[in-house]
Chain A
Amino acid sequence: MNRRLLFTELIRRHEQNIRKTIRVRIKNGMDADDVFQDLSMHILEKIEHEDAESLAKWDSKSWIATVTINFCYSVLRKTTSKKSRRMTDLPDDDALERKAFQKGAGLHHEDPSRSVMHFNMEEILSLLNERDQTIVILKLFENRSVEEIDAITGLTNSSQYYKRAIEKLRTKIGVDRFKDQYDDFFPKD
């Protein structure tokens, strides 16, 4: 199977939707075209290395949307992280201001009472089946109502699927173990 030809056909068929999804999310002066090119390379690499049995999932619009959304978040995360790093590289002439910035920007690595854990959204969502992934993305990232999700997915009880999907994710990630790392009296300001 020539996977490159497969990719070309696939990316062309979904290009309009992918571009639309990117445009909605990438707004901070970044070039959506560049993101589209990078995403194309990312999808090509994934398709070339995908198991033959799993390849069929790339035909699904919701899967492509999932990958696109995750990629956008990853791009945004990288950009934000670069900006944060640039800020911390400021000359040390105003230590007080810098300290204030660190608190405000949420860089808690110097605070032992707090811990930060980074998740790869694509990996986490892959723990769910395709239907649940679509529901979670529509609900969490696109802020769609239950009625809209029902209409898009053709389900009549998407809220229940959503609830179960979130419960499943909580269990898989082991959210409860983080409770031990935070005390309930941590000031909210």
Chain B
Amino acid sequence: MKNSENSENGILWVGDKALETYQRTDKNVLKAFTNHVLLFDSTHSGMHEEATYVKDFDDTEHLAYESNPLTEPLQAYFSSIKMNTIDLMIGSPYELLFQKIISMAKEIESSDKNKNASDEYQLFSFQHFKNRIANEMDFSQKNALLLNQDIPFLDMISDAKATRTKAKRTFNQTWTTLSEKTDINEFLFRFSETSMEIDKCADVEKI
């Protein structure tokens, strides 16, 4: 979905399911985008040249895979890439890392940019970060593709539902794949071409 002729389409692939999908995707299709792959750590995901690890943005020795501790490293990561070039975020709503990013996007989107003027004097306040990032990227203009997974765990299912709802309210357009092994080549091809209707893409549904 090109915004203008010369703009660069960026995709942020978040988490292990996204990495697996990225690796299955046709390289010629991927060439149409600037791809950023974000993983939590290399311990369980393995070392991948194309990936960036959230743990590398953390100063503590053992970064917990929990919502709150992820905030600061993710802020640091967002600051390190050109967020305004990201058009599409891809990830599994079952993964906590992706859930956290969607939550942060929702918070940024719904926060009042001019709220609490006193916060401006705090150099590293979250509000300060939110204001800066909110200026850099407007989530209401970005899109998200949620990757489906067959998960037997009730907790994860309910978290994924909440993430879907948040994503739908935050992003410009949100889609979900209909099955675990969905091929997203066609989706990405249509996404890269403004003239083609994405909603007609098989195996991917708009939510």
Which A residues contact B (CB, under 8 angstroms)? 1-2, 5-6, 8-9, 11-13, 15-16, 19, 40, 52, 55-56, 58-59
Contact = CB atoms under 8 A, between A and B. Distances in A.
Given A1-B180, A2-B20, A11 B44 contact: yes
B64 A59 contact: no
A40 to B, nearest CB: 8
B150 A9 contact: no
Nearest to A52: B152
Contacts of B138: none
Contacts of A59: 152-156
Q: In the complex, which range does the number of interface residues on chain B fall in?
A: 20 to 34
Label chain B's interface by main secondary structure: loop
A158 B159 CA distance: 30
The A contact surface, by secondary structure, is: helix
A16 B154 CA distance: 21
A12 B153 contact: no
A11 B149 CA distance: 17
Contacts of A58: 153
Identify the interface centre among A6, A9, A56: most chain B CB within 10 Å of its CB.
Answer: A9
Nearest to A56: B152
Contact of A13 (B96, B150, B154): B96
A1 B45 CA distance: 17
21 contacts: A1-B149, A1-B151, A1-B152, A2-B20, A5-B17, A5-B149, A6-B151, A8-B44, A8-B45, A9-B16, A9-B94, A9-B96, A12-B96, A13-B66, A15-B64, A16-B62, A40-B44, A55-B152, A56-B153, A59-B153, A59-B154
Interface in B138-191: 149-156, 180
A47 B95 CA distance: 18
A2 B149 contact: yes
A5 B150 CA distance: 11
A5 B20 contact: yes
Interface string B96-139: 10000000000000000000000000000000000000000000
B40 interface: yes
Contacts of B66: 13, 16
B149 A12 contact: no
A12 B20 contact: no
B65 interface: yes
A114 B162 CA distance: 60
